[in-house]
Amino acid sequence: MNKKALLLLLLAVAVVWGGNLWYYKSQKLEKPLFLQHYYEIPISLADHLTLYYISNTDSTRTPYKFQLPDGTDLNVENNRIRDRRGRLQSNEVVVSPPKNAFEAITEPMKFEQLDAYYNDGFVDTVPIGEIIIHPNPKAQESPLKMNFSGGSSNGTGSTGYNVEADVSIRAVSSSFPELLSDVMDIEFHGRNLTDIHAFPLSLHAGDHTSLSYQLQFPNDDPRRFHAFHIRISYEDPRGKSVGIHQIIEQPKLYENDLVRYSRMRKGDKSP
């Protein structure tokens, strides 16, 4: 092999080695990276909250508890790996508060960050999105009795109701409209929420009605990497809730997205 060919070979090796080193370092996380969660739930659904984060596959640092800004602990029940890509993996952790931790609240409680406690002694304050916990609704007879409910992983679903007493529906609304209004489509009793003439809507005992929704994020939309609990409420003319429907939308973050998402969150503009 002549000197020129040898030089070209060494140069090619150096380029490949440098590229691999850059790719390796680009996946290095200094600490677990939490996704953004948008949950609006009653106390009864706060017992088993699911949070999502990204970590390096070779990291042994795992959370064992979280703490709310008011000092309430959320203990880890389960922690599992969802997907892996290169040095990165997405994790799903289920947490629960102490029994009756939120029973005393009379107004919605909102928090946007948590303190994460790890098995190696590291403590980190992490932005979590926005989680709203409502007091449990008072026991009451709703005129709308659910008779079926279903959804699919493509962001669509529906719920059916039997109407057991006359009621006039003043409004139907969902949580986080500032985030979802352009990607979420809701119909109630065949009327779309965008129709300004849809409400008030009179329903009578013996009627059947349904709600359907479609939540569609473009493939390049970073919101598809968020986790959502969407609370859809229906109100009578006095503003009293006569129905609540919860939609759970898991983050669409899989192995092929991990590198791109972690770079985006770290501010890396490289392709």
Distance CA 262, CA 253 (A): 11
Q: Identify the DSSP state of 223.
A: G
The upper half-sphere exposure of residue 26, i.e. CA atoms within 13 Å in the direction of its Cβ, equals: 20
> 245-250: which pairs have CB atoms within 8 A and are 24 or more residues apart?
245/149, 245/159, 245/211, 246/41, 246/45, 247/151, 247/157, 247/213, 247/215, 249/155, 249/215
| Category of 107 on φ-ψ map: left (φ > 0), alpha (ψ -120 to 50) or beta | beta
Distance CA 39, CA 213 (A): 17
Element housing 218 (H / E): none
Distance CA 155, CA 216 (A): 6
Per-residue pLDDT of 173-188, as tens digits, reads 999 999 999 999 999 9
pLDDT at 5: 61
pLDDT at 8: 55
Residue 72's pLDDT band, with cuts at 50, 70 and 90, is very high
pLDDT(24) > 90: no
Distance CA 126, CA 114 (A): 5
Distance CA 129, CA 53 (A): 12
Per-residue pLDDT of 144-201, as tens digits, reads 999 999 888 888 999 999 999 999 999 999 999 999 999 999 999 999 988 888 889 9
pLDDT at 49: 92
Distance CA 54, CA 33 (A): 5
- Give the angle 73-77-83 at the CA atoms, nearest 5°: 115
Distance CA 80, CA 89 (A): 10
pTM of the model: 0.85
Biggest CA pair distance of the chain: 92
Helix (H, G, I), strand (E, B) or coil at 251: coil
Count of other CB atoms within 10 angstroms of residue 108: 11
pLDDT at 73: 95
Per-residue pLDDT of 98-121, as tens digits, reads 988 888 888 999 999 999 999 999
b/e map 26-43, b = 16+ CB within 10 Å: ebebeebbbbbbbbbbbb
